[in-house]
Chain A
Amino acid sequence: MENLSIADNAPPPQGGQPPMGPGGPAQPPPQLPPQMFTTAAQLLDLTDKKLMLSLRDGRKLIGILRSWDQFANLALQSTTERIFAPQPDAPADQPRGYFADVPHGLFLVRGENVLLLGEIDLDKDDDPPPGYERGELAMVKKLAEERKTLDKAREKRRLKKLTSIGFEGENLGDIV
């Protein structure tokens, strides 16, 4: 793969090349096939896997990817929303934050709302994130809401200051 060229057109395949077998000279292809570099090919690998979705409004969804299309609209099965409530000011012997899951079921997510999706390592899935503890939903929801209000207010102040000296925020309207 080191032989990739910056040109888009791959050289024509050579006819006389023997098929690669075990022990044969492993000739790297001059260029990877273009169909590997499509949105569909990237999502194909993730199909039927447990994914973590990060949405534009800051929500984190966990579910199994069952279907998708060329716009990266996604259908997720057994979706849960995971709410995180970080506690950065907590004393050292207290957890760094809490999280809780809200079960949702089948979700269809419009592609434009997806920031990032990641395949979950099932070996690590059962461990809580480092420093975090599972909390009761109502409590976590309340803490997360408080934190969000705080962050929003801080962001607003920051943007105001930036605007006053001539800068414009790049992701206005998005909490990301």
Chain B
Amino acid sequence: MLFFSFFKTLIDHEVTVELKNDIQLRGTLKSVDQYLNIKLDDISVVEELKYPHLSSVKNVFIRGSVVRYVHLPAGSVDTQLLEDATRREAAAQQSKAK
């Protein structure tokens, strides 16, 4: 659930989502759910001419399982906080396993 929460902190930031079929979509992150399905607003497509079906599309819902990478703006990621949260989550999982 950590990355679900993490993506929620990136709402309204500009991100680039790269899909497994190599399409790259840049847009404002509007929503994310537990499967890491992603909703982007005001999208622009990298190499737009290669993907004519997206030319009149303004916002997209992307199934989480087809995402390869999400490129994030470095400035909006608090790495320290994320590391701490990861360790906390790992510790919680470990104590739960016992």
Contact = CB atoms under 8 A, between A and B. Distances in A.
A125 B9 CA distance: 33
A117 B61 contact: yes
Given A43-B61, A116-B66, A86 B52 contact: yes
A6 B33 contact: no
Q: How large is the interface on A (under 10, 10 to 19, 20 to 34, 35 or more residues)?
A: 35 or more
Contacts of B95: none
A4 to B, nearest CB: 5
Contact of B31 (A6, A37, A115, A116): A37
Given A52-B54, A117-B60, A4 B11 contact: yes
B53 A52 contact: yes
A95 to B, nearest CB: 11
B92 to A, nearest CB: 12
Determine which residue in A37, A84, A124 has the highest number of CB atoms from chain B within 10 A of its CB, and name it. Answer: A37
Interface string B1-23: 11011101101100000011100
Contact of A115 (B2, B33, B63, B85): B63
Contacts, number: 112
Contact of A130 (B34, B55, B68): B55
B35 A39 contact: yes
Contacts of A67: none
A46 interface: yes
A4 B8 contact: yes
A84 B52 CA distance: 8
B81 interface: yes
Nearest to B4: A37
A45 B12 CA distance: 16
The prevalent SS among residues of B at the interface is mixed
Contact of B81 (A6, A99, A171): A6
B79 to A, nearest CB: 12
Contacts of B49: 96, 130-131
Contacts of B59: 118-119
Interface of A: 1, 4-8, 32, 36-39, 41-43, 45-46, 52, 54, 60, 72, 82, 84, 86, 96-97, 99, 114-121, 124-125, 127, 129-132, 170-171, 176
26 contacts: A4-B9, A4-B11, A6-B6, A6-B9, A8-B1, A39-B34, A42-B33, A42-B39, A52-B57, A84-B53, A86-B50, A97-B52, A115-B19, A115-B66, A118-B57, A118-B58, A118-B60, A118-B61, A121-B57, A121-B58, A124-B56, A129-B53, A130-B48, A130-B55, A176-B19, A176-B66
